[in-house]
Chain A
Amino acid sequence: MYFVLYICFMNETFVANWKSQLKKGTLTFVILNVLKDNEYYGYELIEEIKKHTDMEVAEGTLYPILNRLKMDNLVDSKWVEQGTGIPRKYYSLTEVGMKTLAEMNAYWKTLVFDIEKIIK
């Protein structure tokens, strides 16, 4: 009985794992795209990502990623004083970041186009 049930439904664990890997792999790509049009501070950036995607960003992983992007000269950051006394660190794309992202977006489009041909 259980076996019949099992083969009739999709393998949920497999799909869940696949989704999680996919999200992990594209998080940097998503961050760069969110920063494309605007500069954001860490907390706001997480909120933006949540707003546009169904990604649950683990807050703790965001800052190491941003630091790596900074080391790679794709993003830049600056501290901006606030009336509250607690400054915000704003991140924005650099010139190199813009060009790199344009290349990544072009590749993404080709990839999606090819995959959709297979899905059909």
Chain B
Amino acid sequence: MKIATIPFEQAASARVYSDYMKRVKREIQSLPQQSQDDIYMEFNSHIFEAIQHRGSTHEIDALLDILEKLGEPHDVLKQLVADKKLEQATRTFNPLHIFKALVLNITNGFSYIIFAVLYLFLFAFLFLIVAKIMHPEQVGLFTQDGHLKLLGRTTNPLQPGMVEILGDWFISLMLFSAVLFYFIITLLLRIKKSINKK
């Protein structure tokens, strides 16, 4: 989408403006195109309206003042981008979006660290599926003398009494666990989002 640039009388103003808008663009590039356009156009509109209402102030002075009040794109947009990303992630169920939303929100509270750990489990389950295919004897759910001993991969030769009990079912179980964790994470994120709103 072509977004109109603001015409300035002075070349210096145009340069300051273009530099600021470039930084805005960089901050929001992880969002879907529509959200990017929306945020970009809103900042553009704000600067334009403020310039129009500057009165007798010199253009460059007014612009510097406006941009200072708007704040550094990185600081101002951090929360907005994190919010939008979370909104997108919980709407689409797309793992990549959820992962990005978690990374952006991880500094926003302890609960997101828990989400990240749950996500780590999810990837571990997926990793174990690949590992099972490559090393069927070393990967699985192992018991020793009737007790659960290990879920995962053993590098040592099996200890006496240690047996893998799931066989090929292991892959199905890991796949099921990954999907289950995935839905749990997304649902928890939705609940968390609705709690945030209250």
Q: Hey, which bits of chain A sit against chain B, CB under 8 A?
A: 41-44, 47, 58-61, 63-64, 67-68, 71-72, 79, 84-89
Inter-chain contacts of A42 with B (CB < 8 A): 42, 45-46, 49
Tell me the minimal C-beta distance from B198 to chain A in angstroms: 9
Pairwise interchain contact B45-A59, C-beta atoms closer than 8 A: no
Interchain CB contact under 8 A, A72 and B197: yes
Instruction: Using A86-B6, A86-B44, A87-B41 as known contacts, say yes or no to A43 and B80 having CB atoms under 8 A apart.
Output: no
Contact assessment for A60 and B71 in the assembled complex, using a CB-CB cutoff below 8 Å: yes
> In the complex the two chains form, what is the Cα distance from A72 to B198 in whole Å?
9
B69 contacts the other chain (Cβ, under 8 Å)? yes
Nearest Cβ on chain A to B83's Cβ, whole angstroms: 6
Contact A43 to B41, CB < 8 A, known contacts A67-B80, A68-B83, A72-B197: no
Residues of B within 8 A of A87 (CB): 41, 45
Inter-chain CA distance A85–B48, complex, in Å, is 10
CB distance from A107 to the nearest CB of B (A): 15
CB distance from B92 to the nearest CB of A (A): 15
Cα of A70 to Cα of B33 in the assembled complex, Å: 19
Nearest B residue to A57 via CB reads: B69
17 contacts between A and B (CB under 8 A): A42-B45, A43-B46, A43-B53, A58-B71, A60-B70, A63-B42, A63-B46, A64-B83, A67-B80, A68-B83, A71-B197, A72-B197, A86-B45, A86-B48, A88-B45, A88-B49, A89-B42
Given A60-B71, A63-B76, A43:B45 Cβ within 8 A: yes
Give B172 Cβ to nearest chain A Cβ, in Å.
38
Q: A67-B84, A71-B83, A89-B42 are in contact. Are A60 and B76 (CB under 8 A)?
A: yes
Check if B45 sits within 8 Å of A60, measured CB to CB: no
**Which residues from chain A contact B66 at a C-beta distance below 8 Å?**
59
Q: Among the interface residues A42, A59, A88, which one has the most CB atoms of the partner chain B within 10 A?
A: A59
When chains A and B are docked, how far (Å) is the Cα of A42 from the Cα of B38? 13
B192 to chain A, nearest CB (A): 13
- B80 in contact with A64 (CB, 8 Å): yes
CB-based contact B49/A59 at 8 Å? no
CB distance from A3 to the nearest CB of B (A): 39
A41 contacts B45, CB within 8 Å? yes
Which residue of A41, A60, A63, A86 is within 8 Å of B69 (Cβ)?
A60
Q: What 0/1 readout, one digit per residue, does chain B (74-115) give for beta carbons within 8 Å of chain A?
A: 011001100110010000000000000000000000000000
Q: Which 5 A-B pairs have the closest CB atoms?
A: A60-B71, A60-B76, A43-B49, A85-B4, A64-B80
For A62, the closest partner residue in chain B by CB is B46
A88 to B44, CA, bound (A): 9
Cβ contacts under 8 Å, A86 to chain B: 4, 6, 44-45, 48
Cα separation A70 to B153 with both chains bound (whole Å): 48
